[in-house]
Amino acid sequence: MYSGIGLEEGEIVDMRVYPVPADQRLELEWSSHNIMISLQVHDASGKLLLQKDISSNESETINVSSYPTGMYILRMTDEFGNISHRKFTIRH
């Protein structure tokens, strides 16, 4: 399942976020090869819960088991300044 707010010019394309809703883990996949990605997870109020830099991967798993049920926003920024946002929910 693809989840997103919509693509805008300069976004990281072909980003897949699943499962939605998530329970224990959130899986991320994207098509950008061998670049640095900065990943952030924010809760619905905008509070930063996770910040992580990822290099040379095309996938990442986030442990969300400790996050309460609710709506979250994933923000990914690549080394060229392209930004993508995805909404996802957690349901335990």
What confidence tens digit (pLDDT) does each residue in 17-29 have? 999 999 999 999 8
Name the band, by pLDDT with cuts 50, 70 and 90, for residue 58: confident
User: What is the pLDDT averaged over residues 7-23?
Assistant: 77
The domain segmentation of the chain, as residue ranges, is 16-90
Separation CA 51–CA 75 (nearest Å) = 9
* Pair of tokens at residue 92: 């335990």
Asked if the model's pLDDT at residue 7 lies above 50, the reply is: no
Dihedral pair phi/psi, residue 23, rounded to 5°: -120, -65
**Residue 36 contacts residue 27 (beta carbons within 8 Å):** no
pLDDT tens digits for 59-91? Answer: 899 999 999 999 999 999 888 888 889 999 999
Assign domain 16-90 to its CATH architecture.
Answer: Sandwich (2.60)
